[in-house]
Amino acid sequence: MALAVPPRLLAATVGVAVAAGFLATPSGGAVEPTGAGASNEAVATPDTERLLEPTPGAQGIGDRYWPLDGNGGIDVQHYDIVDSYDFDSGTLSGTTTLRVRATQALSSFQLDFLLPVSSVSVDGVEAVHDRPHRHELRIAPATPLVRGERFELVVEYAGKPGPIRYARERNWAADSDEVVTMNEPHMAPWWFPSNDHPTDKARYDITITGPATHQTISNGLLVDRVVDGDQATTHWRATDPMVAYLAFFALGRYDVEQGVSQGLPWYVAVSQELPDAQRHRAMTSLKRSPAVTAWLDKRLGAYPFESTGGVAPSINVGFALENQTRPTYSGSSATHLPTIVHELAHQWFGDSVSVRRWRDIWLNEGFATFMEAAYAEKHGGRSAQQWLRAQYDSRRGDASFWRLDLADPGRRHIFDEAVYLRGGMALQALRHRIGNRDFWKALQGWVEERQYGNGSVKAFRRHVEQVSRTDLDRFFRVWLTAPRAPAVTRPNGLR
């Protein structure tokens, strides 16, 4: 994500309230109580048997920044999202089919979703569902699920995403003629039921129906577009693993250009609602995406996905976002080359290698910001070390810039400027400290070994220490967690 100000879409009134236990069921039917442990404790069951005994999946995946995000006991492998959007009423309706693997024996499990649900089935059999919290859809299959079992889950829903708030976010960005589903760390629950956490990646088919006068742009490759009367249905497919918040669609009147560059398909789209001059500038600049992708590919190792490109909607949400294969640039960010470098660098740092927990956000934003400086260095700008020293000198006396713990910034601060800028500076300092060769070897090894997986700040430190055969404990503490500016020394990468 690259921010304009203000940083978030909208402030909201509602915080996260973790619902405990079983609540009345607004959508009918009783689900068995969650009373975890009660029956287990009554009988002295050996651990192996306990694993086989069906229990409810946890309501969160275990990320303390957003305890309801993700879910326990399930691993989604594929989403087939079929949605249609009605601009007049602001209603989104659809059916999502999920192919899921049970990672434990399950009597019930949950998904993250905010729209009203009309029916749920598991392997073709209707399943009881309820909402223990408005962010959670709890599903009790007619027959408990065995650990390791693969099943097909179908969820039907309809509702108005516009007014819905969750975790201080109101994410639906739409006007009377255009909609774009972009945000981080949450977006999926506004338009499809998901296991909404970076640690559960899946492949996607995304099919959107809207006015035939409009285009739908989404992730991956365009499969087909079928026009039926005044409606068009457009099908996109993301064949590489993807995190739920990086799935998106934009529906509006768009100019589209596409091609293949060095074997890699690219697809860029610019809203026709933008003023003419901006529209043409945005298209010219987005068409540099394949060349920027190719440069990053040389620096970081093979581009991890099946296509590249970008989208410039007319709706300005105040930031650009690294939606997988197709970053989305709102406002003037599409014409700002450093932002294009930033969002495409995220394809490696954030999209292919995703955070393990949201506290690891430095691995996304610090790295994408550093790549802006590395790109400038090779394209007529100052050296990244000059950039580091200039930033350091101008920020040295700014106590608040150095106070934030970049290895655990807190959920309200994951998009603070320090995460980006100090985070990027820390990487250039690291490069200066361990040398160019080991530094790029470390980055390339990191994205290669963890392709389509996850990483933590701690694991990155260990990885770099191994590659450079250097104890970097103090370096990482000084740059990431110490609440003050690092001293200008050689070990701190500043001399």
- The residue ranges that bind Zn ion (CB under 5 A) are 1-2, 365, 368
Looking at beta carbons only, is 157 or 349 nearer to Zn ion? 349
3-state SS of the chain? Answer: CEECCCCCCCCCCCCCCCCCCCCCCCCCCCCCCCCCCHHHHHCCCCHHHHHHCCEECCCCCCCCCCCCCCCCCEEEEEEEEEEEEECCCCEEEEEEEEEEEECCCEEEEEEECCCCEEEEEECCEECEEEEEECCEEEEECCCCECCCCEEEEEEEEEECCCCCCECCECCCEECCCCEECCCCCCCHHHCCCECCCCCCCEEEEEEEEEECCCEEEECCEEEEEEEECCEEEEEEEEEEEECHHHCCEEEECEEEEEEEECCEEEEEEEECCCCHHHHHHHHHHHCCHHHHHHHHHHHHCCCCCCCEEEEECCCCCCEEECCCCCCEECHHHHHCHHHHHHHHHCCCECCCEEECCHHHCHHHHHHHHHHHHHHHHHCCCCCHHHHHHHHHHHHCCCHHHHHCCCCCCCHHHCCCHHHHHHHHHHHHHHHHHHCHHHHHHHHHHHHHHCCCCEECHHHHHHHHHHHHCCCCHHHHHHHHHCCCCCCCCCCCCCC
Please, what is the minimum distance in Å from the beta carbon of residue 339 to Zn ion? 9
- Residue nearer to Zn ion on the CB measure, 2 or 467: 2
Strand pairing of 264-271 and 308-312? parallel
Q: Which is nearer to Zn ion, 415 or 475 (CB)?
A: 415
Q: Which is nearer to Zn ion, 232 or 368 (CB)?
A: 368
Which CB sits closer to Zn ion, 3 or 16?
A: 3
Evaluate whether 322 touches 351 at the Cβ level (below 8 Å): yes
Residue 192 or residue 446: which is nearer to Zn ion going by CB? 446
Residue with the closest Cβ to Zn ion?
Answer: 1
Both structure tokens of 53: 């005994």
Shortest CB 328 distance to Zn ion, Å:
12
How far, in Å, CA of 486 to CA of 495, rounded?
11
181 vs 234 by CB, closer to Zn ion: 181
Instruction: Identify which of residues 101 and 299 has a Cβ nearer to Zn ion in the complex.
Output: 299
**Taking the complex as a whole, how short is the minimal distance between the CB of residue 368 and Zn ion, in angstroms?**
4
* Closer CB to Zn ion, 217 or 421, in the complex: 421
In angstroms, give the least distance from the CB of 295 to Zn ion: 18
Shortest spacing between CB 371 and Zn ion, in angstroms: 10
Q: At its nearest, how many Å lie between Zn ion and the CB of residue 415?
A: 8
Q: Distance between CA atoms of 132 and 150, rounded to whole angstroms?
A: 25
CA 399 to CA 379: how far, in whole Å? 33
Closer by beta carbon to Zn ion, 68 or else 344: 344
Q: Which is nearer to Zn ion, 1 or 120 (CB)?
A: 1
CB of 365 to Zn ion, least distance (A): 5
In the bound complex, what is the minimum distance in angstroms from residue 1's beta carbon to Zn ion? 4
CB of 345 to Zn ion, least distance (A): 8
Residue 270 and residue 282 in contact, taking contact as beta carbons nearer than 8 Å? yes
Q: Taking the complex as a whole, how short is the minimal distance between the CB of residue 261 and Zn ion, in angstroms?
A: 23
In angstroms, give the least distance from the CB of 372 to Zn ion: 10
Task: Tell me whether residue 137 or residue 419 sits nearer to Zn ion (CB atom).
Answer: 419
Strands 150-159 and 91-102: antiparallel
Q: How far is the CB of 154 from Zn ion (least distance, A)?
A: 35
